[in-house]
Chains A and B, each alone.
Chain A
Amino acid sequence: MWPIPNAKFAMTNPSSVIFMSSVAGIDSSKLLPASLREDFPILEQLVHGDHPLVFLDNAASTQRPRQVIDVLRRVYEHDYANVHRGIHTLSERSTEQYEAAREKVRAFIGAEKSLEIVFTSGSTAGINLVARSWGDANIKAGDEILVTTMEHHSNLVPWQQLTERSGAILKHIPITDDGELVLDALDSLLTKRTKLVAVASVSNVLGTINPVREIARRAHAAGAVVLVDAAQSVPHVPTNVRELGADFLAFSGHKMLGPTGIGVLYGREELLDAMPAFLGGGSMINRVWPDRFTPAELPAKFEAGTPPIAPAIALGAAIDYLNLIGLEKIQQHEHELCRYAYERLLEVDGLRILGPPPDRRAGLVSFTLPEPHPHDIAQLLDEEGIAVRAGHHCAWPLHDRLGIPASTRASFYLYNTAAEVDALAECVAKIRDRFRPRGRKRAPKPA
């Protein structure tokens, strides 16, 4: 521990000045130990020659630790068979582990019952399930659906499709130039006709943490149902669906150390129970006759066909891993990296960071430079081994609102380090210098 200096000492001793200025660096006490990177074999590689891989594309998809990969292998090598069908050893083992994974998910997001956990192929599938099943049964012409300007296409297009089918009206909660929701607009946007409010808990571009609890409270007071696109929050911050007031909440396994092809739709039992079945097929029925069927109980009603069995079990292993590290610690780690990245990137002249300041954002930073285009930035960062995402990040209306064609995004997870943030900032500065306008002229066209 540092001794607490007396006032006189603090004002005159140069070393105390250095100590004070270190506030503007990285506080490594808030970071997770870099040794946990050893759990992620994929991170150990060099790319484009001798550049250590710096993986900063975690908002798109994360990597998996050995503990998750080992579970996948164990399932396929020892336990795999179809679930809920066979009266044989492997089917029973698979079923037991599949249902155990469902219980892990339930506990992880604070749901009341595991039958409220529907396994899907990802966030997109979960949101579309709600739009098709709940939406088609409950949304009529003239009804209103409220989304926000910052939604990912996966929480926008399904509602556009629903309005096309139903004649309902889509409305948007606007955002400020800083990328935060204009909550003052909410009360006038919520009307007796509002049937659904669909909102991202965290923006995948801006990093904005939306006040879901407050939105849900007001939406419920207006009689609307609330769907939360939690793809960018469940992997990073502790989630409790009941405290949030979410009626539906969707997220993806591959953004939280799990496999692709597995996701979760949480729905309140009362809502799921009243909804018509969505995809028809095996597993989702109670009894079938030549001309009709009766649906299965929850959650099987919404899990037609053979589900992603091994991915679901491996998602359970990912949750075990995240619980072992602790979501609070992961959140603190990412926040510190993000704050540091914010500070370092702003040293690059002309660089503009999208979204709110670090204290009100999650662990990602999207930015633009006057030159060059985000695609070129991503290409040149890749040459240095740094993986980022460039483009509109499936949030085209948001980029239109911000008046930019695209942005570059660096997104962090538990295995990223302060040194990786330094590498990013230094490379971005180099790229900025290289593409500064120089009064170049084309060579005259050959005759």
Chain B
Amino acid sequence: MPLDEEELYQEHILDHYEDPFHRGNLPTATHAHEDNNPLCGDVIRIELELGPDGKIRDAYFTGQGCVISQASASMLLEKLQGKTVEEAKQFSANDMLELYGPRLTPNRQKCCLLSWKVLQSAVHSPIARNV
């Protein structure tokens, strides 16, 4: 198995896979979204606590799927925790692929971009609460 820049499973990615950033639920979440990749069934749910100052105060994810889909979710939340919603919206698909690192084929890009897609929807998806 080759170990160069084309290597999909670089050590820092495996680190995120085995020791993910904020995997779990967020009881204080104000916003959340979940989606899956119909091709393979990978699923990601992201829960966010957005502050009145427009910042992502906290972010957690849950999900099931391949190393790429799960590690990329961890990397994305670690990157955007504490940033503003505006900054999150400006974080593009290309930024996500760049953050991940290794070059991905179009099919595997979908795995990497699942959490990014879910996050882009989550910031617009307030949780309905019964008062």
Bound form: Cα–Cα A438–B65 in Å: 19
Asked if A405 contacts B64 (CB within 8 A), the reply is yes
User: Which A residues touch B111, using CB under 8 A?
Assistant: 375
User: Which A residues touch B67, using CB under 8 A?
Assistant: 372-373, 375-376, 435
Asked if B15 contacts A390 (CB within 8 A), the reply is no
Task: Knowing A372-B67, A373-B66 are in contact, say whether A441-B41 is a contact too (CB < 8 A).
Answer: no
Bound form: Cα–Cα A110–B8 in Å: 50
Per a CB cutoff under 8 Å, which of A375, A379, A380, A440 touches B65?
A375
- Residues in chain A within 8 A of chain B (CB atoms): 372-376, 379-380, 383-384, 390-392, 396, 399, 405-406, 430, 434-435, 437-443, 445
User: Which A residues touch B9, using CB under 8 A?
Assistant: 376, 380, 434
Contact residues, B60-82 vs A (CB, 8 A): 64-68, 70, 74, 78
Q: How far is the CB of B103 from chain A (nearest CB, A)?
A: 13
Asked if B15 contacts A376 (CB within 8 A), the reply is no
Number of interface residues of B (CB under 8 A): 29
Q: Tell me what chain A mostly uses at the interface: helix, strand, loop, or mixed.
A: loop
User: Which B residues touch A375, using CB under 8 A?
Assistant: 40, 42, 65-68, 108, 111
Question: B131 interface residue, CB < 8 Å from A?
Answer: no
User: Which B residues touch A374, using CB under 8 A?
Assistant: 66
Asked if B66 contacts A445 (CB within 8 A), the reply is no
Question: B55 interface residue, CB < 8 Å from A?
Answer: no
List of 10 A-B pairs having minimum Cβ-Cβ separation, nearest first: A375-B66, A373-B66, A440-B18, A391-B40, A405-B64, A440-B15, A392-B41, A442-B15, A376-B67, A442-B19
Bound form: Cα–Cα A380–B67 in Å: 12
**Could you show 5 A-B contacts with beta carbons less than 8 Å apart?**
A373-B66, A380-B1, A390-B40, A406-B40, A406-B41
Asked if A383 contacts B21 (CB within 8 A), the reply is no
User: Which B residues touch A440, using CB under 8 A?
Assistant: 11, 14-15, 17-19
Asked if A379 contacts B8 (CB within 8 A), the reply is yes
Contact residues, B12-53 vs A (CB, 8 A): 12, 14-21, 39-43
Question: B2 interface residue, CB < 8 Å from A?
Answer: yes
Q: How far is the CB of A160 from chain B (nearest CB, A)?
A: 16
Bound form: Cα–Cα A430–B9 in Å: 14
Asked if A441 contacts B40 (CB within 8 A), the reply is no
Per a CB cutoff under 8 Å, which of B39, B43, B78 touches A405?
B43
User: Which A residues touch B8, using CB under 8 A?
Assistant: 379
Bound form: Cα–Cα A372–B39 in Å: 18
Bound form: Cα–Cα A57–B2 in Å: 23
Bound form: Cα–Cα A405–B16 in Å: 20
User: Which A residues touch B19, using CB under 8 A?
Assistant: 440-442
Per a CB cutoff under 8 Å, which of B39, B64, B78 touches A445?
B78
Q: How far is the CB of B6 from chain A (nearest CB, A)?
A: 10
User: Which B residues touch A390, using CB under 8 A?
Assistant: 40
Bound form: Cα–Cα A373–B21 in Å: 19
Task: Knowing A391-B41, A405-B43 are in contact, say whether A442-B68 is a contact too (CB < 8 A).
Answer: no
Bound form: Cα–Cα A380–B15 in Å: 18
Bound form: Cα–Cα A241–B42 in Å: 39
Q: How far is the CB of A102 from chain B (nearest CB, A)?
A: 35
User: Which B residues touch A435, using CB under 8 A?
Assistant: 14, 67
Q: How far is the CB of B119 from chain A (nearest CB, A)?
A: 17
Bound form: Cα–Cα A90–B43 in Å: 53
Asked if A399 contacts B41 (CB within 8 A), the reply is yes
Q: How far is the CB of A163 from chain B (nearest CB, A)?
A: 21
Asked if A383 contacts B18 (CB within 8 A), the reply is no
Asked if B40 contacts A392 (CB within 8 A), the reply is yes
Bound form: Cα–Cα A375–B43 in Å: 13
Question: 0/1 per residue, B89-113, Cβ < 8 Å to A?
Answer: 0000000000000000000100100
Bound form: Cα–Cα A438–B111 in Å: 24
User: Which B residues touch A441, using CB under 8 A?
Assistant: 15, 19
Bound form: Cα–Cα A391–B41 in Å: 7
User: Which B residues touch A439, using CB under 8 A?
Assistant: 18
Bound form: Cα–Cα A257–B36 in Å: 34
